[in-house]
Amino acid sequence: MVGSLHSTVQESSVAVSQLHQGDVIAKKYEIDSVLGQGPAGQSCVARAMSTGKKVVLKALNVETSDLAPFQAMYDRVRAVQCDALPVLLDVGLHGNRPFVVQEYSEGESLRRLMDEYAGARKAFTLQEAAQIVVKVLEAADAAHAAGLVHRHIKPTNILIQSRSVGPGQGKMVRTIKLTGLGLADMLPSVPMLESVMERGDNRYMAPELTSPTSGGGPQADVYSCGVLLYELLTGQTPRGTYLSPSQIREDLPPGVDDIVDLALASNADDRFPTARDMMNAIQRSFQEDAPTQTGLSHRVIAAVAGATLLLVLVIIGALMTNDPLAEKKRSDETVRAQIVKSNPLPDEATMRAKLEGHADMAYIPKGTFLRGRLSAESNKVADATEPVAAVGKTAAYYIDRLEWDNKKGSNPSVNVSFAQAEQLCQSVGKRLCTADEWERACKGPEARIYTYGDTYNAEKCGGDSSTDANKDGKSDRATGTQDTCVSGWGAYDMSGGVREWTGTFDSSQKSFRVVKGGKTGEPERGSRCSFAEARNPGLSDGTIGFRCCQDAEVAAAPEGATPAGDPAAAGSAAPTPAAAPAPAAP
């Protein structure tokens, strides 16, 4: 059914007309106020004209004349019985725009409540966080039992009604509702995903959901609940290699760390098998009695089954073992967390403003990063002579999102010497990147080992720079075509493209220049962001290309500027780099 629904609306535009106060919808509802606009659609408070009762109406960001598939999904969602899900009341069309109506609940979004706590410098207690997340998991579990996956659990989709009860009204009771169930299946996946990524809501999305071809299963909702639990307890979302909650808050027991780690596993099969399992683990650990220093040693093991039981035992064993490698990993995580904390990302409006006139480039603000290999990287992939990670610093700069010639889907230019690469960058008002700029752009804000994460995966960034060049001086691998091979700053193919010239001299061979990136026969080692080689600047072969950088203060290249020549023989005409779509703010 979902496939037919998507085919019904796949030609629709998300640029639909907006609703306003006073609008009458389908001759049945009058808009009282507009609550907001999200990736799925526009939410409003309305009144049913027949009864005068308040309802919540969401007009979806699609246009279609066929209501049948929306009605079918509405019927499936309405059949799910759970007090943590709002009651659906109606579905219909307003012109060619489908809408869904649900019961109106007093209260506020969890996001607003979290902002209020942050403004008052107040932290959610362990009991508060557990109560909220358990109710969300309860709603997710009921949906999963009916064959539905939410796929977009986040604070703005959670409604909270708080009330004081008991003697002196000293006890706070909260009613929690998870909204938005079924909406992910009512909208075309690609525009929906693009909108989510643009708004930065992908922080709550499981890794498998960042591809429009992957629908994700129930464990995608488990991941979102893990992010939610982490944020409620720490005031921030986990990024890259994150600090455990108990490392941020000393009042938290180590047991919470195990629950978070299981829920946030990058591989769906390594998470809690079901929402019910995570819910049971939280309830048994945080609500039945006070957590002990042994954490989940007897609670989670009783809550999870099969393969996950073995995983929990391995995790707990690792935590209790004085393993030198584990110590190195913890040290790496601490340093990386400090880098993330000391470099807050610009807001979306700032990023958009910075990218004006630089559509083919990624913007990276001034700040610090980890230069070099992490101490826990094994000898298999990191030579002992490589410098261990230390804090480096760059000014603000731009970097080409794609390898030269900056055209998505084209083959990157190779057979180019250092001097030719430098000349071509200068011809468009840019320059070659420094080795530090290249490495920082590759590692992303999270200081990853590879652009896509910390574990080598040949499928994430396919292609091998050791291939021979084609006769036209191009590599035989298309650039910018793998969305799994893009760094957190928005630069493609830095852990899987050709090797690239930088403008930095090698420290030991003064006349040589540093070459970064690319797969050179040892892909697991050579595609790490920290890997570097020294090369004679006169060298040109089928494995070396380049991309350009630009100081943030320098204006965009003047109109009409074109590359000075072909990479294989600078001097002949070459096309002007094409503008690539601006990336979403990381």
Q: Is the pLDDT of residue 461 over 80?
A: yes
Residue 194: how many CB atoms within 10 A of its CB?
A: 16
Of residues 525 and 286, the one with the higher pLDDT is 525
SS (H, E, C) 186-229: HCCHHHHHHHHHHHCHHHHCCHHHHCCCCCCCHHHHHHHHHHHH
Which helix (H) or strand (E) element contains residue 313? helix 306-320
Instruction: Name all domains of the chain by residue range, CATH numbers in brackets.
Output: 2-103 (3.30.200.20), 108-321 (1.10.510.10), 333-551 (3.90.1580.10)
The amino acid that residue 520 corresponds to is T
SS3 281: helix
In this predicted model, what pLDDT tens digit does every residue of 121-142 receive, in sequence order?
899 999 899 999 999 999 999 9
- Angle between helix 218-234 and helix 275-286 axes, rounded to 10 deg: 30
In this predicted model, what pLDDT tens digit does every residue of 479-519 receive, in sequence order?
888 888 989 899 999 998 889 999 999 877 778 999 998 65
State the pLDDT at residue 192.
44
Residue 78: both structure tokens together: 């309405």
d(CA 245, CA 228) in angstroms, rounded, equals: 12
State the pLDDT at residue 254.
73
Note the Cα 243 to chain centre separation in Å. Answer: 17
372-383 exposure pattern, b = at least 16 Cβ within 10 A, e = fewer: bbbebbeeebbe
Q: Is the pLDDT of residue 416 over 90?
A: yes
Concatenating the DSSP letter of every residue in 37-90 gives E-SSEEEEEEEETTT--EEEEEEES---S--HHHHHHHHHHHT---TTSPPEEE
d(CA 328, CA 376) in angstroms, rounded, equals: 5
Give CA angle at 65 (63, 71), nearest 5°: 95
Q: Over the chain, what is the mean pLDDT?
A: 79
